[in-house]
A and B are shown apart, each in its own frame.
Chain A
Amino acid sequence: MVSMTELSKMHGSPESAARLKKRKAAQWRLQAYGILAVVLAGAALVTLLWSVVSKASAVLTESYISMPVVLEVADIDPDGTNDPAVIGKANFGGIAKDTLKLTFPTVTARNDKREMYDIISSGAAFELREMVMENPTLIGETVDFRFLASDIADLYLKGSYGELTEQENSGALTIDSDGKTATITSSADDFTFVMAQVRADLLAKAAFNRQQATLQENGRVVFEERALTAATSEEGAANSAEAVKRAVERDRLIALAVDFEERAALGGSTEALDKNSPSVLVRTSSGWLKLTEISPQGGSGKIIGEVESATLDAADWQVYLQPTPEASRKVSDLQAMLIEDLRSKDAVHIVFNTRFFTSGDSREPELAGIWGAAVGSFWTMLVTITLAFPIGVLAAIYLEEFAKKNAINDMIEVNINNLAAVPSIVFGLLGLAVFLGVFGVPRSAPLAGGMVLAVMTLPTIIIASRAAIKAVPPSIRDAALGLGASKLQTAFHHVLPLSMPGILTGTILGMAQALGETAPLIMIGMVAFIVDIPTGITDSASALPVQIFRWSDFPERGFEARTSAAILVLLLFLVLMNGLAVFLRKRFERRW
């Protein structure tokens, strides 16, 4: 027999106080975990956004180089027809090259000229062509035209390939030039710091080679062991040979390392500079000198531009150091020097990059834009929502209000719920087989993509709509039925408006998910390289996530920033769609 009065006495006891303490501690811990989770999530979000935004910020601007273009009548329209078709056939690429040759007359070697042409984009010639076609009166004149800089020039101007850092100089420079090469000597120790940098670079190379040698040594040891434990003599011989190869390689690397170290140790003497060492450039008012040999007082090297024998005051010459070796970057020293010349002539214009938002895809990073993919995504989403929303909502109404509760309908419900979990690429296969194969929908078209995504989104919409419809209280239905409304009228006049907030939320979430899907679109061919902006649902198109996927694969560094920028555009779309969902919810919200 339990006495209730005895039990009542337990409420104030020290044991119950201890229990209370434990409960409170557990609650506090749970709250702490919750706050910790939120903080971690926030940190992850901030990190993601920071990395994407900082990479994408390079896309904000693009660079143009303005140079005077001589539009010879003989080159463009010799017969004076003023016919755009004739003008369009002229060799504007050649005109662009001629412009560069005119701007830099001292660049003559074949390789050098090729590097010079690479400063401007291949699309610049087309833009020149369009300008002349629109305005034939310009033929015969010399116009200042803004040439779009190539992706490497643009990246150089943005500092992606390392900066040419100017060093301090205080001495007077004596130049001994023969037109092609020159020797220079400074009256002060202006080159000491640079020498030190070169030496440091040598030591770094030595350390790297030693590290590689260690790896070779490790490999040699492994192969020796294998040779000892080999089952057959052929295997043993093969392993021994491998070991020997490793030993030879190791020794070579160590020899190189020793060589680098010895050179670094020699203070005061000259050091040869090649494309694997940092670049040292000396600039005067008329030209540049690229050093091939350096000493603490000066050095000797190749002339770019015009440099004559003279003695210059400290203010009239500068020395630059580029720590990244020429072999490790895409911008050669010559290109860097030419661009710096243009920059000091104020021929370089860095403007806001509207091209990214208005042009379609391109193989050249500087010409590539997101507009084509954005429009493609828009058309695809349009098709998706036009198909998925009515079908989904009506299906949900039917299943909730009209269908009888029997085994068949239970199975349908289970299958719809399961479809929501099917991997999206399977829907792509369905689209490929049925929509493209049987219905003959054009490949790569938003129509096909929209249909596939609609099928994929349908389960999400149906499930969300059913939940929203179930949540409408039966009193509303009773009231409507009691007035003599039919089931159809009750469903559409009363239940549907009241369940709209939930339906819309589910729809927008489904659409946002569909917007970011890549796999099914790949299956139906929307991953092709599409340059034109699609004008309808049957034109070939790409989509934003697919575009991101393709750009992230390209090797050009210019696409790195553009991939991040495209990701930001996609995120913006998603934020807008979620904002729309919130707005529509508020607007349709009723109280019952």
Chain B
Amino acid sequence: MTNMRMTEKGVTTDDVKISTKNVDVFYGDNHAIKDVSVDILDKTVTAFIGPSGCGKSTFLRCLNRMNDTIDSCRITGEFLMDGEDIYAKKVDPVQLRARVGMVFQKPNPFPKSIFDNVAYGPRIHGLVGNKTDLEEVVEQSLRRAAIWKEVKDRLDAPGTSLSGGQQQRLCIARAIATAPEVLLMDEPASALDPIATAQIEELIDELRHDYSVVIVTHSMQQAARVSQRTAFFHLGDMVEYGETSTIFTNPVDQRTQDYITGRFG
């Protein structure tokens, strides 16, 4: 039961990056995602909001095929990125994940040096040929993640020696280093303090100029600040999808209205 309305106002680009139709996800017998269709636009921040357990993280993980690692998970429906089915047999999930990067809720830098953390992606995908280019890629990624100034003197320090906010920015830099086209972020600031959260949000706003960003968030205020498009999930259904400003001021569905006014969730 989807009630979907898209408005064109205030959208920076209407190129569809990822198009999903009639997606169902089952964990064993549990029907986690029920017939969801949503289009993710390029160079846009799309936010998924909704109460706990409504399926937003599950849907997010479908977009880079991370649910493949879960044996009991069954996915049906169509996922097209740039017009091509990402669940086709000939598509290698490993290659896909280089193009669709992911940042997780709890910062998880590798217990290696900061340099090696960021360099890992380019190394395994063979993106650069020599050491100088690699160093440049690392520097650019760290700059884009707004952490270069803080770590440029200690690139050999372990990634785990940074503070929480810095670690998350390192993880973002690491994800960017593989030169993805889409960035998936699963509640990236929920484990951080308000100042670090503000830094992350500022970062996300800059990132959308180069990437298509999909962010799952618990905080409606964050979604309102950061995103251009918002999808509201509830109990496995996607209830409403549209421009952020519309969702938060003038939602179509009653459930959306109830959620944003704080009646539940």
- Which of A's residues lie within 8 Å of B, judged by CB? 404-405, 475-476, 478-486, 489, 493-494, 498, 590-592
Q: In the assembled complex, how far is the CB of residue B1 from the closest CB belonging to chain A, in whole angstroms? A: 32
Please determine whether A478 and B97 come into contact, CB atoms closer than 8 angstroms.
no
Interface string of B92-121 (1 = CB under 8 A from A): 001111100111101011110000000011
Please list the 7 inter-chain residue pairs (A to B) with the smallest Cβ-Cβ separation, ordered nearest first: A484-B98, A482-B102, A484-B97, A475-B108, A590-B111, A479-B108, A483-B121
Q: In the assembled complex, how far is the CB of residue B200 from the closest CB belonging to chain A, in whole angstroms? A: 17
Please determine whether B175 and A482 come into contact, CB atoms closer than 8 angstroms.
yes
What secondary structure prevails in chain A residues at the interface with B?
helix
Please determine whether A481 and B69 come into contact, CB atoms closer than 8 angstroms.
yes
Q: In whole angstroms, what is the CA distance A493 to B160 when docked?
A: 17
Please determine whether B111 and A592 come into contact, CB atoms closer than 8 angstroms.
yes
B124 part of interface (Cβ distance < 8 Å): yes
Please determine whether B174 and A483 come into contact, CB atoms closer than 8 angstroms.
yes
Q: In whole angstroms, what is the CA distance A592 to B161 when docked?
A: 10
Please determine whether A484 and B94 come into contact, CB atoms closer than 8 angstroms.
yes
Please determine whether A484 and B108 come into contact, CB atoms closer than 8 angstroms.
no
Q: In the assembled complex, how far is the CB of residue A475 from the closest CB belonging to chain B, in whole angstroms? A: 4
B171 part of interface (Cβ distance < 8 Å): yes
Residues of A within 8 A of B94 (CB): 484-486
Residues of B within 8 A of A479 (CB): 104, 108-110, 171, 174
Pick the residue among A475, A481, A498 that contacts B66 (CB under 8 A): A481
B152-194 contacts to A, CB under 8 A, are 160, 171, 174-175, 178
Please determine whether A475 and B175 come into contact, CB atoms closer than 8 angstroms.
no
Q: In the complex, which residue of chain B has the Cβ closest to the Cβ of A486?
A: B94
Q: In the assembled complex, how far is the CB of residue B95 from the closest CB belonging to chain A, in whole angstroms? A: 7
Q: A484-B94, A486-B94 are in contact. Are A476 and B104 (CB under 8 A)?
A: no
Residues of A within 8 A of B178 (CB): 483-484
Please determine whether A478 and B104 come into contact, CB atoms closer than 8 angstroms.
yes
Residues of B within 8 A of A489 (CB): 124
Q: In the assembled complex, how far is the CB of residue B94 from the closest CB belonging to chain A, in whole angstroms? A: 5
Q: In the assembled complex, how far is the CB of residue A107 from the closest CB belonging to chain B, in whole angstroms? A: 79
Pick the residue among A482, A494, A498, A592 that contacts B97 (CB under 8 A): A482
Residues of B within 8 A of A404 (CB): 71
B217 part of interface (Cβ distance < 8 Å): no
Please determine whether B174 and A478 come into contact, CB atoms closer than 8 angstroms.
no
Q: In the assembled complex, how far is the CB of residue A589 from the closest CB belonging to chain B, in whole angstroms? A: 10
Q: In the assembled complex, how far is the CB of residue B175 from the closest CB belonging to chain A, in whole angstroms? A: 7
Q: In whole angstroms, what is the CA distance A541 to B125 when docked?
A: 51
Residues of B within 8 A of A480 (CB): 110, 120
Q: In the assembled complex, how far is the CB of residue B124 from the closest CB belonging to chain A, in whole angstroms? A: 6
Q: A405-B71, A590-B111 are in contact. Are A482 and B124 (CB under 8 A)?
A: no
Residues of B within 8 A of A476 (CB): 108, 110
Residues of B within 8 A of A493 (CB): 120, 124
Q: In the assembled complex, how far is the CB of residue A406 from the closest CB belonging to chain B, in whole angstroms? A: 10
Residues of A within 8 A of B69 (CB): 481
B244 part of interface (Cβ distance < 8 Å): no
Q: A479-B104, A483-B98, A486-B94 are known contacts; what are 16 more A-B pairs with Cβ within 8 Å?
A: A478-B108, A479-B110, A480-B120, A482-B64, A482-B101, A482-B175, A483-B101, A483-B174, A484-B94, A484-B95, A484-B97, A484-B121, A484-B178, A493-B124, A494-B110, A590-B111
Q: In the assembled complex, how far is the CB of residue B9 from the closest CB belonging to chain A, in whole angstroms? A: 34
Q: In the assembled complex, how far is the CB of residue B254 from the closest CB belonging to chain A, in whole angstroms? A: 36
Q: In the assembled complex, how far is the CB of residue B118 from the closest CB belonging to chain A, in whole angstroms? A: 10
B183-215 contacts to A, CB under 8 A, are none
Residues of B within 8 A of A483 (CB): 97-98, 101, 120-121, 124, 174-175, 178
Please determine whether A485 and B124 come into contact, CB atoms closer than 8 angstroms.
yes
Q: A498-B111, A590-B111, A592-B111 are in contact. Are A482 and B125 (CB under 8 A)?
A: no
Please determine whether B121 and A478 come into contact, CB atoms closer than 8 angstroms.
no
Q: In the complex, which residue of chain B has the Cβ closest to the Cβ of A591?
A: B160
Q: In whole angstroms, what is the CA distance A590 to B64 when docked?
A: 29
Residues of B within 8 A of A590 (CB): 111
Pick the residue among A478, A482, A485, A592 that contacts B160 (CB under 8 A): A592
Please determine whether A482 and B104 come into contact, CB atoms closer than 8 angstroms.
yes
A-B contact pairs, 18 of them (CB 8 A): A404-B71, A476-B110, A478-B66, A479-B108, A479-B110, A481-B66, A482-B97, A482-B104, A483-B98, A483-B101, A483-B124, A483-B174, A484-B121, A484-B125, A489-B124, A494-B110, A591-B111, A592-B111
Listed residue (A404, A476, A479) with the most chain B CB atoms within 10 angstroms of its CB: A479
Q: In whole angstroms, what is the CA distance A484 to B171 when docked?
A: 14
Q: In whole angstroms, what is the CA distance A534 to B108 when docked?
A: 52
Q: In whole angstroms, what is the CA distance A498 to B110 when docked?
A: 10
Residues of B within 8 A of A498 (CB): 111
Q: In the complex, which residue of chain B has the Cβ closest to the Cβ of A498?
A: B111
Residues of B within 8 A of A482 (CB): 64, 66, 97, 101-104, 175
Residues of A within 8 A of B103 (CB): 482
Q: In the assembled complex, how far is the CB of residue A483 from the closest CB belonging to chain B, in whole angstroms? A: 5
Q: In the complex, which residue of chain B has the Cβ closest to the Cβ of A485?
A: B124
Residues of A within 8 A of B101 (CB): 482-483
Q: In the complex, which residue of chain A has the Cβ closest to the Cβ of B94?
A: A486
Residues of A within 8 A of B121 (CB): 483-484
Q: In the complex, which residue of chain A has the Cβ closest to the Cβ of B180?
A: A484
Q: In the complex, which residue of chain B has the Cβ closest to the Cβ of A473?
A: B108
Q: In the assembled complex, how far is the CB of residue B176 from the closest CB belonging to chain A, in whole angstroms? A: 11
Residues of B within 8 A of A592 (CB): 111, 160
Q: In the assembled complex, how far is the CB of residue A588 from the closest CB belonging to chain B, in whole angstroms? A: 11
Q: In the complex, which residue of chain B has the Cβ closest to the Cβ of A477?
A: B69
Listed residue (B66, B95, B104, B120) with the most chain A CB atoms within 10 angstroms of its CB: B120
Residues of A within 8 A of B110 (CB): 476, 479-480, 494
Residues of B within 8 A of A481 (CB): 66, 69, 97
Residues of A within 8 A of B66 (CB): 478, 481-482
Residues of B within 8 A of A494 (CB): 110
Listed residue (B103, B104, B124, B174) with the most chain A CB atoms within 10 angstroms of its CB: B124
Q: In whole angstroms, what is the CA distance A66 to B227 when docked?
A: 99
Q: In the assembled complex, how far is the CB of residue A404 from the closest CB belonging to chain B, in whole angstroms? A: 7
Residues of B within 8 A of A485 (CB): 94, 120, 124
Q: In whole angstroms, what is the CA distance A481 to B175 when docked?
A: 11
Listed residue (A480, A483, A498) with the most chain B CB atoms within 10 angstroms of its CB: A483
Residues of B within 8 A of A486 (CB): 94
Residues of A within 8 A of B71 (CB): 404-405
Residues of B within 8 A of A484 (CB): 94-98, 121, 124-125, 178
Q: In whole angstroms, what is the CA distance A498 to B108 when docked?
A: 14
Q: In the assembled complex, how far is the CB of residue B265 from the closest CB belonging to chain A, in whole angstroms? A: 26
Q: In whole angstroms, what is the CA distance A485 to B71 when docked?
A: 19
Q: In whole angstroms, what is the CA distance A404 to B102 when docked?
A: 25
Residues of A within 8 A of B160 (CB): 591-592
Q: In the complex, which residue of chain A has the Cβ closest to the Cβ of B109?
A: A479
Residues of A within 8 A of B175 (CB): 482-483
Residues of B within 8 A of A405 (CB): 71
Q: In the assembled complex, how far is the CB of residue B216 from the closest CB belonging to chain A, in whole angstroms? A: 14
Listed residue (A405, A482, A591) with the most chain B CB atoms within 10 angstroms of its CB: A482
Residues of A within 8 A of B124 (CB): 483-485, 489, 493
Q: In the assembled complex, how far is the CB of residue A492 from the closest CB belonging to chain B, in whole angstroms? A: 11
Q: In the assembled complex, how far is the CB of residue B194 from the closest CB belonging to chain A, in whole angstroms? A: 23
Listed residue (B95, B106, B108, B160) with the most chain A CB atoms within 10 angstroms of its CB: B108
Q: In whole angstroms, what is the CA distance A484 to B109 when docked?
A: 15
Q: In the assembled complex, how far is the CB of residue B75 from the closest CB belonging to chain A, in whole angstroms? A: 17
Q: In whole angstroms, what is the CA distance A405 to B72 when docked?
A: 11
Residues of B within 8 A of A591 (CB): 111, 160
Q: In the complex, which residue of chain B has the Cβ closest to the Cβ of A483?
A: B121
Q: In whole angstroms, what is the CA distance A484 to B91 when docked?
A: 13
Q: In the assembled complex, how far is the CB of residue A486 from the closest CB belonging to chain B, in whole angstroms? A: 5
